[in-house]
Amino acid sequence: MAAAEGAVPLQVGFVGAGRMAEAIARGLIRAGKVEARNVVASAPTNRNLCHFQALGCRTTHANQEVLQSCFLVFLATKPHVLPAVLVEVAPVVTAEHILVSVAGGVPLSTLEELLPPSTRVLRISPNLPCVVQEGAVVMARGRWASNSEAKLLQTLLAACGWCEEVPEAYVDIHTGLGGSGVAFVCAFSEALAEGAIKMGMPSDLAYRIAIQTLLGTAKLLLQDGRHPAQLRMDVCTPGGTTIHGLHALEQGGLRAAAMSAVEAATSRAKELTRK
C-alpha cells in the first residue's frame, strides 16, 4: 500500500512497543504497506523501542507525540495501563484519528467512554504467529468506525496473516481459541513427539517430525478448504494404524479436553473484560 505519487504517505503509530506491536509493525513494513520511516512508536523506556529502531522506525517516550504524528494509531499497552493512557492522549485525539486497541480485556465501550465523542475506534485480537506473518487476527469496530476504516485495517493486517471482522462478543472467544490455542497446539505437538520418543525415536528427530506434521496439515486444510474431519478420514484406512491411534485419543478424552481448554480460556478472558 505504498502511497501513489504525490499522495501523503501512510503514517502509522504505536503507543506501546511490546512484542505484538513489533510483530504488527514488522509485518506492515515487510509487506510494503508502510515505510519504516513513517512508523512512530512510544514506550516509557528504550527496552522495547530498540526493536523499532532496528527496523528503521522513529521512536519517542511521549505518547501524545505519536498521535500528533499519525492518524492511524495502534494502542498496544498492557490492558491495566490502557485506561490511563487513553486519558493522557485524549486531549490530542481529533476527528481524523483511527485508534486500534490491541489490549485484551478492554471493551470498545470503555475505549469510547475515555476518548472524545465520535472517536473512530476498533479493537483487534491478534495471536503470537503474527510474529512470522502467519497470525489469526479478529477485529471489531466501535460505533463510529465505518466500513472504510474496517476495510483499511483488514487490508493492512493481512500483512500479519489472516484478519476477519467479527462481532465484539467473538473477541474473547478468539482469545481462548487463537490466542491461548498456540499453547494448546504446542502441548499437543510435545505429546506427539514424546510418544515417538517412548517408542525409541531420538528426541530431536521426533520434535522435528511432529512440528512439520502440524505445519503440513495446516497448509493442507487451508489450501483445500476442507473440514478437518474430511482430511482425518482420508488418512484412515480400515484396520490401519491411524484408526487404532484415533481410538486411543478418544479413550483419553482428547476432544473433550481440547474443548474444555478453549472454554476455560474464553471464560477467563470474559472475566478480565468485566473487571
Q: Known binding site for NADP(+): residues? A: 76-79
User: Of the candidates 237, 234, 211, which has an alpha carbon nearest to the alpha carbon of residue 221?
Assistant: 234
Q: How far apart are CA 164 and CA 188, in angstroms?
A: 26
18 three-state secondary structure: coil
Q: State how far the Cα of 258 lies from the Cα of 243, in Å rounded to an integer.
A: 19
The residue assigned the cell 479493537 is 123
Question: How many whole angstroms separate alpha carbon 12 and alpha carbon 6?
Answer: 18
**Residue positions in the annotated binding site for NADPH?**
63
What gap in Å lies between CA 93 and CA 60, rounded to an integer? 18
Strand duo 72-75 + 58-60: pairing: unpaired
Annotated binding site: 63, 76-79
Quote the CA–CA distance of 208 and 197 in Å, as a whole number.
12
